[in-house]
Each structure stands twice: as structure tokens, then as C-alpha cells.
Amino acid sequence: MSEPTSPLAGAKYEGFAGVVAMGLQGMISLRGDLGAEALGKAVKAVTGVDVPAPRRIAMKGETGAAWMSPDELLLLVPYADVATALERLHEMLAGTHFLAVDVSDARAMFSVDGQGVREIVAKLMPVDMRRQAFGEGDFRRTRMAQIPAALWMPQPDRVQIICFRSVAEYAFNLLKGAAAPGGEVGHLS
Amino acid sequence: MSTRLATGGRLIDRATTMEFTLNGKRLQGRAGDTLASALLANDQLMVGRSFKYHRPRGIVASGAEEPNALFNMGEGARFEPNQRATTTELFDGLTCRSQNHWPSLEFDVGAINSRLARFLPAGFYYKMFIHPRPFWKHVYEPFIRQSAGLGQAPKDRDADSYEHFHAFTDVLVIGGGVAGLQAARAAGAAGATVLLIEQTAHWGGRAPVDGGTVDGQPVDKFVDETLAALREMPNVTLRNRLMGAGVYDHGYVLGYERVNDHQPGAPGPRHRLWRIRAGQVITATGAIERPLSFAGNDIPGVMLASAIRDYAVDYGVSVGDRTVVVTNNDDAYRTAITLKTLGLEVPVILDARATGGGALADEARSLGIRVEAGKGIAKVRGGRRVTGVAICSQAGEGAVLEEIACDAVAMSGGWSPVVHLWSHCGGKLLWDEAHAMFRPDVDKAPTGANGEAFVIAAGAANGALHLRDTLADAQAAGHAAAARLGHEVKESAPPLGEAAPEVRLQPIWMMPQGAKTVLRMKSWLDFQNDVKVSDVQLAAREGFESVEHAKRYTTLGMATDQGKLSNINGLAILSDALNQPIPQTGTTTFRPPYTPISMAAIAGEARGETFQPIRKTVLHEWHEANGAYFEPVGAWRRPYTFRKGDETIEEAVAREITRTRESLGLLDASTLGKIIVKGPDAGRFLDMLYTNMMSTLKPGRCRYGLMCSENGFLIDDGVVARLDDETFLCHTTTGGAESIHGHMEDWLQCEWWDWQVYTANVTEQYAQIAVVGPKARALLQKLTGDDISAEALSFMGWKDITLDGVPVRAYRISFSGELSYEIAIPASYGRAIWDKLLSEGAAFNATPYGTEALHVMRAEKGLIMIGDETDGTVIPQDLNMEWAISKKKEDYLGKRAQARSHMADPERWKLVGLETLDGAVLPDGAYAVAQGRNANGQRKVQGRVTSSYHSPTLGRGIAMGLVHKGPERMGEVLEFPRVDGTVMKAKIVDQVFYDKDGEKQNV
């Protein structure tokens, strides 16, 4: 039986912050009426969280939901649980207009850890990374240099970044460059 | 001579010596020096040659406005031309070479141009080199290129790294002089977040040099205290070596940080480009002193009065032992007083004003300095450096009254506020008659998205030149910025700046007032581009009356300093020549950046391995390790072919095709676009997008479809699979995945917003592997227990199966004409399944093939390719694809366009096969000629080749092409001239060259 592999499995870099290519993460793209009661219940059932407000992410343990657009959420569940979660969504949302698809294998995910993570993001993405503007629970869909990316901070001094799988190597190299020793800006703490 | 004084130099550390070289000559400076101050300390007054006349050029200024002191800096991978000595911090080991001279700085052949100056007036090049026409390209330009040019182009790859940084702030203060410091403090105290940036390594600007007191203390004390206060404020950030380069719409500002220019090779980036979003921008950018226009004002040793003062006070460097000061204002007296206090000689102060100066003039006189009112310089004596001045009456024509020996001249024509950043985004200026300067018109500030002003000029940059006014204006600016952002401002008295009162300057645009031609021809306006008073006057006489035209005709202000010294003087001369007031002439346009910024900083991280994102499939690594010869397809890299051993590319392609047709081939088709379309209206939606009917497709089945733009032209094609009643999966071309998804969303969001359809681009979710050839089914059967027999999974059907334990979807579709399955595998399992297919397929001689084999096989089958058979002007009817256009549908995108007369014209070129008579391969894109010539005298054409390959299956060249009425002309022979003059002949045939009845794929 064939086994799955994650993008850049195990790739790591230590600069003034640490960059790690994370393993496989279950992700479901869910489109629908985010204000509908049925959708709210289904999201809660699958992730344990309420539908997040615009530009926010709600996490509960290993599951959560991120706001992607006025009619789209990204649901996070363990990779092995995607099929079950999709089944559950289809059951609970049957009869309503929605779209739920597995996008776990279409993405790469990185974590950046350390004091300077806010500056690393600010070098590559046009996001206001000041503490008062971006904190735990915030979520952005934006660009990272020349590719689309999304990010949030699951805890202080840690950023998680999602991009498309085909550009995982480019993304890793970007983060490496931005985290290179001596590149501390000293502007965002 | 210029030398280091025994004492003084507030910015240097005399204890720390720094070695550097100029043109290979070893020199010494001190820590804290700029390259300019270090050169002057070594009596290196002459720094280069001018652009056109190759006249000796010395340092004129002490800051960003310097036009002459540009150097080739560094070596090898850290070489960079046109580096300004006045803004280059000296470091140990610095190497530089002077520019624009041949063979040497001291002896220059091009200096002959100076003797020929009267034959090289403004517009000379335009007038001279236009005839005869061919001479420009072959004679004039190569010659001029050789003799022109400043620095050399770097040859090596840059050793350093560069980056961008996105910053956000309420208030951005540009300029760390006393005005910037005070404005930042005022805005910060009101509660605004403040970012204060300063282009140099020092705070306080030039105020400490100019003297005066603030609240009774010396200025430098005020600077220190304000800095300390700002550093205590948590909402204020200070950054130096960070220049405000440009102000753009919506409070967007570019900052240019020279992180490591002063310590090359240190860890970290060399430059950092700050991309700042600010609520309010305060430009506290100071002012720049203007030169005076007298004969010989370009001779090394003639400098701005303020610069001479700066070098003495900041760096402890005297430019000359005997300095003549020439001025039209009070401020320049400060230079004389400073020099005299340091024990240097000031033989005379020439004040062009008949009435002379005020309090500062009295102070100078009391120090024993001779002051001459109403006098000016007729002519500066000297060649490579000043030896003396000839004095004249300012009111006269230049008759020499007296000769005075000196080795430096300090000139001041008044001050111009630095209004560049104010002006970048549309801030307007007004002419201040009293100070003879343009300053910001506060009622016409740059406005943001809400129509409100977002830039405030402060201090000297706002025309508040006197220390008292500067500080009060800066405080008001800081408060205004904070108030505009909704902060509550508590009014308080600004710090009290006190300095000597100054009497009014007198605008002096030419010295003497009645200077004759011979003097005007030696009175420089633009030092770098060699533009003189006489040139601007000539331009006016020749009709270049608009300041923008005069600029381009004379090249005034077009050098790397962008006319920071020359513009105001130049347009004053122009106004005078046109006999109109200065504001009527106006200024040229101020454009970012303020001073040149490095190209590498603009590129940021986009170089080397992060130059651009390369998309890679999950099989990319395998491809790389197995001889793949890649080609770019969109941002992807796809294997064109896999070479084995010594094979040529052609041999590899032929092998891949033959083995696939004989037995089994494997293709990485992961890059194909895959878009899920779901909802109650999905069928109706796809019926509109595709030319054929999709809503009738049964779940479990696939259908090939064509997509057109609303103009009727083909934009994409692919196989659509119906997954269930409400869900379709649309395959697109590789290049079309993102654009077709966007096209779908565009129609759904903007036109059919009430249709219940959702889409999702799942292209990267799946690795897609095509298993192709007579043994395809046999291979898959080894890896699955599911029934994939011809009956259970027939041609144009799909089925979810388990392959080696992995749930996958098998589409039985064929782009090669063989028995073929495309297997969609969750991408994370893609590599494992590929490896399995290869190992299990070894028994069938499984052969991975690339895009070229794919192309040849589809061409053998006569199948079209978007981008080959289509080019944005081709409609499905041109390709004889009426079968894929539904007659039953009321509408689809492109239907009405295709009914228009030109689209329905029977004369259109249509798709046919082309078979060369001798079996050779037609050049791709070749035209078939017809009889006669068109209106342009070109040979008429009747068709062109759209795809052409050597077919290893048929052993000869095959091609498709669009030919005038092609399908009606089967068997006719067309002529295709080649670039070498020979002609190829090809017969019009059916486009399907291989297995026309489809027996091979339908087994």
C-alpha cells in the first residue's frame, strides 16, 4: 500500500527565527451561506468552533475554521479525518446549496518560530504585523512575494503560513532568505 | 589647500583612522567622515570631469544635492558606479575610482571639448548628428557612447542580498533635522504612532552647524534632549540611514534604507526597501542652498557656503586657507564667521546687495572681515583649482575692479526648500517673493482617497527657514497630523528658537547683472550636465519656452542629481529670457525617487532561487533525477522529454512515442487544470460556458468541450466529467487553470449572481498520471481489484477505484489515440503511485514520456491544441469542430459573436492536414503563399502551419495548418517558402494521420 508524503517533508532552517515545513494537514474548502444556521451547525460539528468573523480564525485543539471570503471557509482537521469530516458535512448540509472539497493535498504549510516572526512576515507580505493590528485569532489571505498565501499566529512568536503545494520550495526559500541571520529589522517586536 | 584642521569635527572620531584608496592611491580618513570630507582632508579637491566638456570638477556640496563627486565604488561583486561621495560614509578599506575621464583624472583628452565649447551649445547633438541618417547608428552613436557616460556598468553578480519591508504607521516623519524631531515629538505626544526616518547616520540636520539656541541652550543640546525624549516614547520609532524616496497615492511611501553600505560584507541585507503605509506624512526635508551663476563657478574650490561650513564644523576640514565668500543673503556670513573663528582667512565677503547685510554682517565686520556691498565675482581664476577671483560691481557688465588671491570660494544664492516629496503626489507650490523660493502651497496639499490632505511640509521644507519659525512650524505640523488622525491635541508653546535676525535677500540669477556672453558661457547652472546660463538663454531664443521643453533641450536638471542645485537658477534665467515672472514659468516635475535608489533594492528578494516562483508537480523530483529536459508551461516546468544515455532530444522523443504506441507510456499530467463546479444551476452554467451541451452528461461519463470568450474565439478546451447530479469536474489546459477559474467566477459574480453555483480550483489537490498504450489496462489490473474491464469502464467513462490501496479516480480518456486512463491521485500519494506504476509496468516496458511526445501523438491523431491551432483569433468553426457546437442551445458564450458576418464568412482559413511531398518537416508557423502582392507590396498568403512534427509512427513529417477554404481543396499542393530562399511543397490532406476510426483507443 502506498504511503502519503508531505511537501518538502522535514525541511528546516534556523536563522534568527526557525522555519519548518510542517507535515500533512487536513483542509476542507467549504463554500456556502456563512450566515445560515445549518452551515454554522455543520462547521461546529466538524471543527468544534463557530463560524469565524471576517479575517479571523477560530481554533479548538487540532481543528478549526478560517474565514477566506464572504462565502468561503477553510476548515482544518487532522489529515486522517478529512474523509469522515467531508461525509459529515455532506450529511448535515444535504438539501442546501454548498460546496465542500478536500484540498489537503493541494497545500503546503510552514511554521515560523521565534522573536522575529512578525518581521519575517512583514518582509514578504503587505500585512500590518504590528501587535495592535495582528494577533492571535487574526487571519489573512494575502500574497507572499509573488505567490498567494494565508497566515495566522496560533501563539505569540509563531506564524503558520499556507501556500499552494507546487510553490512550496519557493515559499521555503523565501522564508529562509527573510530569516537569514543579520536580517533582523528591529522594528516590530 | 584643503586639509584637516587641528581641532573640531563634531561628527568624526579623530582617534580612529580609516584607510581607503582613490584611483589606487592610499589615503586616510577618520571614523565618521563621509568619503567627501575624507577626500577634502587629503587635499583631493578635484573629483572628476564634467559630462560634456570634461572640465575639472570639484566637490560642491555636502549632502544629497552634490552633482560632481560621483565615484565607481568598490570592486568585483561589490562594484557600483555613480556613488555620491557626500552621502557615502567612509569605512576602512573603501576603494573608489573617479569617473568620466580618459586616460586619467589629471590629464584628460576630452577636455578639448571645453575649448570647443562655443561650437557645442545647447541642442548641439540634436542639430549636428541628425544628418545623414545612417551615420547616427554607425558613426555618431558609437563615438558619443565612448566619450559619454559616467560610471561603468558592474560586470559581476552582486554579492549582497536585498529585501523589502512593509511598515504601517499613523504618522511618518521624513527628515530627522530639528523640524522632523520636533514634529515627531508633537505628533507622538498627542498619541499618534510615529515613524521618524532620516537619510543620514546623524540626527539634527544642519541646525547644529548653523548655530543659534533653543530655549536658551545650544542646538545640539536640544537635539540630544529631543532624541532622548523620543526614545522614551513607546509610540515613536526612529530609523536613520533611511531615506524617504517617494510619496505615492493613499499615504504610500517608499523608504530606502542603506543597512550595510557603511559596513560592506556585514551579515544582513545591504539595502532594505521600506514600503510604508502612513495615515499622515510630514516632510521635514530641509532646504538646499543655491549656487550663484558667475563665470568660473565650476572650478574646483568653488563650493556652496553651507558646505564649506559643514566640512569645517562637522568634519574639521578646511577647504581652503583663504576663502572668498560671495552671497546675496545673510546666511552665508555664517560661513565667513565660522572660518574666521577657526583661524582661517576670509579676504573678503562680496555681498551682491547694494544695501549689504544685517546683524551677521555686523558680526563679520567686528571680526575684522572686509565686507563689500554691491559687489560680485566677474570671474574665478584658476583651472584645476581656484587661485583667485576678479571682483566687479554686481550692477555692471563685469569690468574687473580688483583681483583677490584665494583658494576657495563660498557661494550662496539663497535657499530652496526641498519640496520634492511634497510634490511627488500632487502637492502644489507657490512662489515666495520675499525669499525668492518655491515653497509648498498649504492649501493645495496632496490628497488621499477621502479627498483630504495627507502630506504636511514642516520646517525649512515648508519655507520656515529661520530657527524660530522652523520649530514653531514643525510643532504645528506634528499637531496637525495627529489631529487629522483623530488624536486629541493639547496645544503648547513650541520650543523657542533664537538666531540672528536676517535681512531680506536679493534674488541674483546672474552675476554680474549685465554679464556679457563670454562670461555667461562660463557661468554654470548644471555642473554635471554642463549646462550654462548661455545655453538656457539660447533655448529660450530658439522657442523652447515651456520649462519642460527647455529642460530636455538643454539637459538642465537631467543628470543623476536631477537638478537639485540647478533647477531654480535655470528656470529663473529662462523666465528672464522670456520676460515673464518666475511662477509663470513654473518648475519641472518632481518625480521619485528623491535620490537614486539601487535596482537591487527594488527587486528585493526576487533574485537567485527566489527570482520567480517555479511551480513543481509532486513528480518533479523524479523527473529531475531521470534525465528530464524541462520546458516552461505557464509557471510550471514540465519534462519535454526524458533523455537516456547519449540520446539526442529527437531520439528520446521518438523512443517515448514508439514504446507508448507499442506497449505502455506514462505521463505526468498533474498540471492540467481541475475545477469543481457544483450547485443546482451547475449544468445550466456549463451549458453557457461550453459550446456543446454539458447538462445532458450522465454521472459517470466524460465529454470533451470547447470554451469561447464572448467574442466567439476559442480560449480553452478539456474534458468535463459529471461526478453527480449537481457536480461537475472541468479539466482545463495547464495554462488555463487559473484564468478559466477566474473567468467562471467573473460570470458568476458579475452577471449570473443569482445562479446557485460554487466553483473550486482543485488543480493541485491531485497528481494526475496518464497510463497510455495497449498495455494500460493490464498494468492497472495488477494494482487494483476493481473491475476496469472495457464494459465496466468504457471509453469516455470514469470510475472511483482503489489503486495499491489508495482511493483514486480513473478517467478513460485519450489524447494519444491509444487505450488510455488518466488517474487522479491525492497529490500526497502521487509519487508513491508513480513509483508503483513504474515498477509494476517494467514488465510492459513502461516508458515515461514528456510534453513533446504528447504533442506529436495528439498531432498524429489530428487533435487540436489550444495555443497551437488557436491564437486568440480562431473560432471552433475554423477547426471544423461544428460537431462540438450545440445547435439545440439557446445561447452560450460566443454564440452571437460567431454569427457575425466575418465569423460566418466561407472565405475563412480552415484546419487541414499537411503532408510534405518529400516527407520533410515543415517549419512551424510557415506561410503558404498565393499569387500576387498585397497593398504593402508583400507576397499574398493563403494559409499557415499551426503544428508541425516528425512522426516516428509514420516515419515522416506531419503538420496541421489553417488554409483558405482548406477542406474543399484536398489534394492540392501548397508552397511554403523558407527563410533560406528554398520552397517546401505540401499536399492538403485529412488532419487525422493515425487510426482515423479510433479502433486503438476503443478496446
Per-residue pLDDT of B58-104, as tens digits, reads 999 999 999 999 999 999 999 999 999 999 999 999 999 998 766 67
> Exposure of A94 by Cβ count < 10 A (0-12 exposed, 13-18 middle, 19+ buried)?
exposed
User: Do A1 and B805 lie within an 8 Å CB cutoff?
Assistant: yes
Over the stretch B348-380, which tens digit does the pLDDT of each residue have? 999 999 999 999 999 999 999 999 999 999 999
CA distances from A86 to A102, A163, B102, B780 (A): 8, 22, 76, 28
Over the stretch A74-88, which tens digit does the pLDDT of each residue have? 999 999 999 999 999
Spatial CA neighbour of B731 closest among B699, B749, B706, B711: B706
User: Do A184 and B268 lie within an 8 Å CB cutoff?
Assistant: yes
User: Do B833 and A187 lie within an 8 Å CB cutoff?
Assistant: no
Closest CA–CA distance from residue B758 to any residue of chain A (Å)? 6
User: Do B831 and A5 lie within an 8 Å CB cutoff?
Assistant: yes
User: Do B806 and A180 lie within an 8 Å CB cutoff?
Assistant: no
How does residue B49 score in pLDDT terms, banded at 50, 70 and 90?
confident
Outline which parts of chain A fall under CATH 3.30.70.1520. 26-105
B133-142, B153-162, B968-977: least confidently modelled range: B133-142
Identify each DSSP E strand in B887-955 by its residue range.
Answer: 909-916, 927-933, 939-951
d(CA B875, CA B885): 11
CA of A2: which chain B residue's CA is closest? B832
Outline which parts of chain A fall under CATH 3.30.1360.120. 7-20+107-179
Q: Tell me what pLDDT residue B881 has.
A: 96
Residues of chain B in contact with residue A90, where contact means CB-CB under 8 angstroms, are none
Paired strand residues for B825: B767
d(CA B126, CA B553): 9
B 181-220 residues with CB below 8 A of A? 193
Domain A7-20+107-179's class?
Answer: alpha beta
The reply to whether omega before B613 is within 30° of 0 (cis) is: no
Quote ipTM for the complex: 0.97
Cα B581 to chain centroid, rounded: 37
Q: Tell me what pLDDT residue B891 has.
A: 96
User: Do B275 and A3 lie within an 8 Å CB cutoff?
Assistant: no
Residues of chain A in contact with residue B827, where contact means CB-CB under 8 angstroms, are 105-106, 165
Closest CA–CA distance from residue B806 to any residue of chain A (Å)? 7
- Predicted TM-score (pTM) of this structure: 0.94
Closest CA–CA distance from residue B831 to any residue of chain A (Å)? 8
CA of B674: which chain A residue's CA is closest? A106
User: Do B680 and A97 lie within an 8 Å CB cutoff?
Assistant: yes
Q: Tell me what pLDDT residue B148 has.
A: 53
- Percent of chain B residues past pLDDT 90, beyond the cut: 90
Q: Tell me what pLDDT residue B559 has.
A: 84
Tell me, what DSSP letter sits at residue B177?
Answer: B
Say whether residue B268 is in contact with chain A using an 8 A CB cutoff: yes
Over the stretch A114-140, which tens digit does the pLDDT of each residue have? 999 999 999 999 999 999 999 999 999
Q: Tell me what pLDDT residue B129 has.
A: 67
Length of chain A equals 189
User: Do A123 and B828 lie within an 8 Å CB cutoff?
Assistant: no
Q: Which residue has the cell 510550471?
A: B636
Residues of chain B in contact with residue A124, where contact means CB-CB under 8 angstroms, are 164, 605
- Mutation for testing the B interface, residue in A13, A109, A185 having most B CBs under 10 Å: A185
CA distances from A5 to A33, A162, B825, B949 (A): 34, 17, 13, 38
How does residue B151 score in pLDDT terms, banded at 50, 70 and 90?
confident
CA of A134: which chain B residue's CA is closest? B168
Q: Tell me what pLDDT residue B1003 has.
A: 85
d(CA B392, CA B375): 6
Pairing of strands B673-678, B727-732: antiparallel
Instruction: Evaluate whether B702 touches B721 at the Cβ level (below 8 Å).
Output: yes
SS3 for chain A is CCCCCCCCCCCEEECCCEEEECCCCEEEEEECCCCCHHHHHHHHHHHCCCCCCCCEEEEECCEEEEEEECCEEEEEECHHHHHHHHHHHHHHCCCCCCEEEECHHHEEEEEEECCCHHHHHHHHCCCCCCCCCCCCCEEEEEEECCEEEEEEEEECCEEEEEEEHHHHHHHHHHHHHHCCCCCCCCCCC
**Residue environment code for B197-219, b if the CB has 16+ CB neighbours within 10 A, otherwise e:** bbbbebbbbbbbbbbbbbeeeeb
Residues of chain A in contact with residue B676, where contact means CB-CB under 8 angstroms, are 99, 101
CA of A104: which chain B residue's CA is closest? B765
Residues of chain A in contact with residue B265, where contact means CB-CB under 8 angstroms, are none
Q: Is B140 helix (H, G, I), strand (E, B) or coil?
A: helix
> From the CB of residue B429, how many other CB atoms can be counted at a distance below 10 Å?
20
User: Do B758 and A3 lie within an 8 Å CB cutoff?
Assistant: no
The alpha-carbon radius of gyration of chain B (Å, integer) is 38
Q: Is it the case that residue B147 has pLDDT exceeding 60?
A: no
The reply to whether omega before A126 is within 30° of 0 (cis) is: no
The reply to whether omega before B923 is within 30° of 0 (cis) is: no
How does residue B870 score in pLDDT terms, banded at 50, 70 and 90?
very high
Q: Which residue has the cell 463560524?
A: A51
Closest CA–CA distance from residue A163 to any residue of chain B (Å)? 11
Q: Tell me what pLDDT residue B223 has.
A: 98
Q: Tell me what pLDDT residue B86 has.
A: 97
Q: Tell me what pLDDT residue B330 has.
A: 97
Spatial CA neighbour of B804 closest among B777, B834, B846: B834
d(CA B618, CA B628): 14
Spatial CA neighbour of B512 closest among B639, B708, B350, B634: B350
Tell me the three cell numbers of residue B412: 550662496
d(CA B7, CA B663): 91
CA distances from B559 to B52, B292, B418 (A): 12, 19, 18
Q: Is B985 helix (H, G, I), strand (E, B) or coil?
A: strand
Q: Is B43 helix (H, G, I), strand (E, B) or coil?
A: coil
CA of A174: which chain B residue's CA is closest? B610
Angle in degrees, CA B426, B427, B433, rounded to 5: 135
Residues of chain A in contact with residue B829, where contact means CB-CB under 8 angstroms, are 2-4, 105
Element (H, E) at B788: none
d(CA B905, CA B882): 14
Q: Tell me what pLDDT residue A1 has.
A: 74
Spatial CA neighbour of B498 closest among B359, B327, B351, B333: B359
Reported as half-sphere exposure (CB side, CA atoms, 13 A), residue B669 has a value of 30
Residues of chain A in contact with residue B613, where contact means CB-CB under 8 angstroms, are 145-147, 167, 170
How does residue B1001 score in pLDDT terms, banded at 50, 70 and 90?
confident
CA distances from B321 to B30, B257, B318, B405 (A): 21, 37, 7, 11
> Mean pLDDT over all residues of chain B?
94
Instruction: Evaluate whether B669 touches B770 at the Cβ level (below 8 Å).
Output: yes
Q: Is it the case that residue B4 has pLDDT exceeding 70?
A: yes
Q: Which residue has the cell 471552433?
A: B876
Closest CA–CA distance from residue A124 to any residue of chain B (Å)? 7
Over the stretch B250-275, which tens digit does the pLDDT of each residue have? 999 999 999 999 999 999 999 999 99
User: Do B609 and A173 lie within an 8 Å CB cutoff?
Assistant: yes
Average pLDDT, integer, range B26-34: 97
d(CA B460, CA B175): 11
Residues of chain B in contact with residue A127, where contact means CB-CB under 8 angstroms, are 166
Residues of chain B in contact with residue A128, where contact means CB-CB under 8 angstroms, are 166, 168, 277
- Nearest-CB residue to A128 (from B168, B805, B833): B168
Q: Is it the case that residue B140 has pLDDT exceeding 80?
A: no
Tell me the three cell numbers of residue B788: 476496469
Say whether residue B236 is in contact with chain A using an 8 A CB cutoff: no
Cα B506 to chain centroid, rounded: 42
> From the CB of residue B164, how many other CB atoms can be counted at a distance below 10 Å?
23
Over the stretch A12-64, which tens digit does the pLDDT of each residue have? 999 999 999 999 999 999 999 999 999 999 999 999 999 999 999 999 999 99
d(CA B471, CA B464): 9
Over the stretch B651-684, which tens digit does the pLDDT of each residue have? 999 999 999 999 999 999 999 999 999 999 999 9
Residues of chain B in contact with residue A179, where contact means CB-CB under 8 angstroms, are none
d(CA A88, CA A43): 10
Q: Is it the case that residue B143 has pLDDT exceeding 90?
A: no
Closest CA–CA distance from residue A166 to any residue of chain B (Å)? 5
Average pLDDT, integer, range B790-797: 96
Say whether residue B168 is in contact with chain A using an 8 A CB cutoff: yes
B 602-621 residues with CB below 8 A of A? 604-606, 609-610, 612-618
Q: Is B1 helix (H, G, I), strand (E, B) or coil?
A: coil
How does residue B743 score in pLDDT terms, banded at 50, 70 and 90?
very high
CA distances from B135 to B123, B144, B145 (A): 18, 12, 14
Q: Which fold has domain A26-105?
A: Alpha-Beta Plaits (3.30.70)
Instruction: Evaluate whether B45 touches B59 at the Cβ level (below 8 Å).
Output: yes
Count chain A–chain B contacts defined by CB atoms under 8 A: 146
Closest CA–CA distance from residue A96 to any residue of chain B (Å)? 9
Residues of chain B in contact with residue A101, where contact means CB-CB under 8 angstroms, are 676, 760, 762, 765
- Nearest-CB residue to B613 (from A7, A170, A182): A170
Tell me the three cell numbers of residue B762: 482543485
Say whether residue B766 is in contact with chain A using an 8 A CB cutoff: yes
